[in-house]
Amino acid sequence: MTIQTVGVIGAGQMGNGIAHVFAQAGYDVLLTDISAEALDKAMALIERNLDRQVSREKISAADKDAALARIRTTTQLSDLGQSDLVIEAATERETVKQAIFADLVPHLKPDTILTSNTSSISITRLASRTDRPEKFMGFHFMNPVPVMQLVELIRGIATDDATYQTLLEVVERLGKTPATAEDFPAFIVNRILMPMINEAVYTLYEGVGSVQSIDLAMKLGTNHPMGPLELADFIGLDTCLAIMNVLHDGFADTKYRPCPLLTKYVEAGWLGRKTGRGFYDYRGDTPVPTR
């Protein structure tokens, strides 16, 4: 199947980045969100990010204008019905995703491919709630989408080869690199990354090191570009906790038990950069550790 029109559900951190890279690669994009304000913010952010690429001479001003012209927005989910490919990038909660697919499916063309940008939830289970499990896949982009090279492709138990091959071609056209994962909790990247972040929070919780010393140790000791607590703030502590809960529930193994301190921060609403506080306080000129 040839993909030309792409619907993106959710104009947040991931959705706007996905819309950006698809438009830049020549696809016609329809971006939807329940909030018109979120759509306006997403378009402004996409334009700023494209301007940054122009200033760094990665694209031309004409490329930027062409990409922006390919993105339309709507608050009506049903408007995505004629898309060749739909990418759901809503909140990382299964009930939310299932409700979105239930509302969307009656409006879709028979051959539309459905995908989810979920970072951890069962693709097989999400697909089973739709009318096309054979045309459903996990399509997991990394944040920030315009910068990160990897896309995880996750086949559900019913996903057919034609759908998988079509998405491989899409990833290639985006100029990104696919990694194929089996449909087990958190797939590859987050199966490995989140327990590391959770262990860093335990290291803080148990008083082994401070926020600053833990991040410094991992940056200088293992050559990571960001420390694990800094990275957790960047991802969002609510997202980290949600993925740890998926791992814990999915494998019933205590090694995936979320650290109580991570839960406490989420309960406080200290979710990281997006709320101004997490393991660091971002409300001043320079981030300051909160512990």
Q: Is 119 a catalytic residue?
A: yes
Q: How confident is the model at residue 279 (pLDDT cuts 50, 70, 90)?
A: very high
Does pLDDT of 181 surpass 80? yes
Catalytic residue among 88, 92, 94, 152: 152
Q: How confident is the model at residue 1 (pLDDT cuts 50, 70, 90)?
A: confident
Tell me how far apart the alpha carbons of residues 92 and 223 are, in angstroms, rounded to a whole number.
29
Tell me how far apart the alpha carbons of residues 89 and 15 are, in angstroms, rounded to a whole number.
5
DSSP helix/strand/coil, 173: helix
Contact 28, 4 (CB under 8 A): yes
To which CATH superfamily is domain 191-289 assigned? Answer: N-(1-d-carboxylethyl)-l-norvaline Dehydrogenase; domain 2 (1.10.1040.10)
Catalytic residue among 116, 117, 119, 198: 119
Question: Which pLDDT score, from 0 to 100, does residue 64 have?
Answer: 97
Does pLDDT of 126 surpass 80? yes
Q: Is 152 a catalytic residue?
A: yes
Give first-to-last CA distance, the chain, whole Å: 52
Q: Name the helix (H) or strand (E) containing 24.
A: helix 13-24
Does pLDDT of 204 surpass 80? yes
Q: Locate the domains of the chain by residue range.
A: 5-181, 191-289
Q: How confident is the model at residue 196 (pLDDT cuts 50, 70, 90)?
A: very high
Catalytic residue among 83, 140, 198, 230: 140
- Our CA angle for 19, 9, 148, nearest 5°, is 40
Tell me how far apart the alpha carbons of residues 190 and 149 are, in angstroms, rounded to a whole number.
16
Does pLDDT of 92 surpass 90? no
Question: Which pLDDT score, from 0 to 100, does residue 251 have?
Answer: 96
Tell me how far apart the alpha carbons of residues 168 and 153 are, in angstroms, rounded to a whole number.
8
Catalytic residue among 49, 117, 120, 190: 190
Strand order in the sheet with 28-32: 71-74, 28-32, 5-9, 85-88, 113-116, 136-141, 150-155, 177-181
DSSP helix/strand/coil, 89: coil
Tell me how far apart the alpha carbons of residues 259 and 213 are, in angstroms, rounded to a whole number.
19
The whole-number average pLDDT for the span 17-35 is 97
The whole-number average pLDDT for the span 47-67 is 96
CATH for 5-181? 3.40.50.720
| Domain 5-181 shares a fold with domain 191-289 | no
The whole-number average pLDDT for the span 212-220 is 98
Tell me how far apart the alpha carbons of residues 271 and 149 are, in angstroms, rounded to a whole number.
25
Q: Is 107 a catalytic residue?
A: no
Does pLDDT of 218 surpass 90? yes
The whole-number average pLDDT for the span 262-279 is 97
